[in-house]
């Protein structure tokens, strides 16, 4: 039977997690109790109070990562929401390749990449789109996550691949181990740079991005945290780049193109309200046809 956590300790813990990591667990008292009880007891405690005291006092990175891994889900897989990748390949990539014909460099960020399937999957679509010309382009993807555990798995690059991945792709981009188990080939591994990053931190990478993918992450954030993160994504995106590709809890695909300073092209009307948090807005932006969703 899981230990119970007092209202006081619950509030201290969820407020600390939310202020430092953006994750909103204010309605998850039972989840915290059930998922952390074994950890609390393994540390020799009989209740949550001393455990929370030590966690908040020491702020040990390994302990915090353990807690976050227990309380969040890193579930992902190749070809997840295939329509997102098709939109990327048919709408976004042609535009980016046209605009980067001279420098032949694409700057793409997979934010909250978990165990690496997303950035590897993006790499496949890029290489398939560019074909023989891929060798002439720098398409290395920055892939970040707050968890060093999932990043270690991503760097190993060994997965059970779903049947939805074409056989030809398995041959070209993976090495077969046994059964459904494959390891990413160097052509993919060398195209992804993994790095630890907390999405609550200021975004200060060396260059701005053409595309920022942030799927299945923002479901953990409250609205004010989402607004602040979207604003930071906006500032980290080049004019003409695609601010974000979201997968929300309602299974919808949201894409916003930054047309210029404060001007946006909306691929879903519901994103217009979210981007009202960005200031200044110099124009309403052009709404894309719903056919592009």
Question: Would you state the pLDDT for residue 257?
Answer: 54
**Strand pairing of 253-260 and 263-266?**
antiparallel
Tell me the average pLDDT across 50-58.
Answer: 95
Question: Are 89 and 129 contacting, i.e. CB atoms less than 8 angstroms apart?
Answer: yes
In a domain, 224, yes or no: yes
Say yes or no: 150 and 43 in one domain.
Answer: no
Mean pLDDT of the chain: 83
Say yes or no: 64 and 177 in one domain.
Answer: no
Whether 254 has a pLDDT exceeding 90, the answer reads: no
Say yes or no: 137 and 23 in one domain.
Answer: no
Question: Would you state the pLDDT for residue 81?
Answer: 75
* Buried b or exposed e, range 97-116, using 16+ CB within 10 angstroms: beebeeeeebbbbbbbbbbb
Say yes or no: 210 and 142 in one domain.
Answer: yes
In a domain, 14, yes or no: yes
Say yes or no: 139 and 243 in one domain.
Answer: yes
In a domain, 242, yes or no: yes
pLDDT in tens, 16-35: 999 999 998 999 999 999 99
Q: Which residue has the higher pLDDT, 166 or 227?
A: 166
In a domain, 249, yes or no: yes
Give residue 244's pLDDT band: very low, low, confident or very high (50, 70, 90): low
Quick one: DSSP state of residue 264?
A: E
Whether 4 has a pLDDT exceeding 80, the answer reads: yes
Alpha carbons 211 and 240: distance in angstroms, whole number: 10
Whether 13 has a pLDDT exceeding 50, the answer reads: yes
Q: How far is CA 292 from the centre of its chain?
A: 22
Tell me the average pLDDT across 203-215.
Answer: 91
Q: First vs last Cα of the chain: how many Å apart?
A: 46
Say yes or no: 93 and 232 in one domain.
Answer: yes
Q: Which residue has the higher pLDDT, 196 or 76?
A: 196
Question: Would you state the pLDDT for residue 85?
Answer: 85
Say yes or no: 55 and 154 in one domain.
Answer: no
Residue 270 burial by Cβ neighbours in a 10 Å radius (0-12, 13-18, 19+) = exposed
Query: What CATH number did the domain enclosing 29 receive?
Result: 1.10.155.10
Whether 275 has a pLDDT exceeding 50, the answer reads: no
In a domain, 142, yes or no: yes
Give residue 99's pLDDT band: very low, low, confident or very high (50, 70, 90): very high
Residue 243 burial by Cβ neighbours in a 10 Å radius (0-12, 13-18, 19+) = buried
Say yes or no: 65 and 88 in one domain.
Answer: no
Whether 49 has a pLDDT exceeding 70, the answer reads: yes
Alpha carbons 86 and 93: distance in angstroms, whole number: 10
Domain count, the chain: 2
Half-sphere exposure of 60 (CA within 13 A, CB side): 10
Say yes or no: 41 and 123 in one domain.
Answer: no
Q: Which residue has the higher pLDDT, 250 or 244?
A: 244
In a domain, 1, yes or no: no
Say yes or no: 13 and 121 in one domain.
Answer: no
In a domain, 282, yes or no: yes
In a domain, 218, yes or no: yes
Q: What is the domain extent for residue 42?
A: 7-71
Question: Are 73 and 106 contacting, i.e. CB atoms less than 8 angstroms apart?
Answer: no
pLDDT in tens, 141-170: 999 999 988 999 999 999 999 889 999 999
Tell me the average pLDDT across 183-188.
Answer: 96
């Amino acid at each position: 039977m899981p230990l119970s956590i007092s209202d006081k300790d619950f509030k201290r813990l969820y407020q600390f997690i939310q202020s430092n990591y953006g994750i909103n667990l204010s309605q998850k008292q039972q989840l915290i109790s059930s998922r952390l009880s074994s950890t609390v007891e393994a540390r020799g405690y009989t209740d949550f109070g001393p455990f929370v005291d030590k966690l908040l006092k020491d702020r040990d990175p390994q302990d915090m990562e353990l807690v976050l891994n227990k309380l969040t889900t890193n579930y992902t897989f190749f070809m997840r929401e295939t329509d997102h990748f098709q939109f990327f390949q048919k709408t976004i990539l042609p535009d980016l390749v046209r605009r980067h014909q001279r420098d032949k460099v694409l700057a793409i960020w997979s934010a909250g990449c978990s165990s690496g399937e997303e950035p590897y999957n993006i790499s496949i679509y890029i290489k398939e789109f560019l074909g023989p010309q891929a060798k002439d382009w720098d398409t290395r993807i920055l892939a970040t996550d707050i968890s060093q555990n999932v990043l270690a798995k991503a760097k190993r690059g060994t997965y059970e691949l779903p049947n939805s991945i074409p056989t030809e792709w398995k041959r070209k981009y993976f090495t077969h181990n046994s059964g459904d188990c494959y390891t990413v080939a160097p052509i993919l591994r060398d195209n992804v740079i993994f790095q630890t990053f907390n999405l609550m931190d200021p975004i200060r990478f060396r260059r701005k991005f053409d595309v920022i993918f942030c799927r299945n992450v923002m479901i953990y954030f409250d609205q004010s945290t989402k607004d602040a993160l979207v604003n930071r994504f906006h500032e980290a995106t080049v004019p003409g780049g695609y601010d974000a590709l979201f997968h929300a809890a309602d299974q919808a695909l949201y894409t916003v193109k930054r047309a210029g300073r404060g001007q946006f092209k909306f691929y879903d009307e519901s994103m217009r309200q979210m981007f009202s948090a960005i200031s200044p807005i110099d124009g309403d932006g052009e709404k894309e046809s719903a056919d592009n969703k």
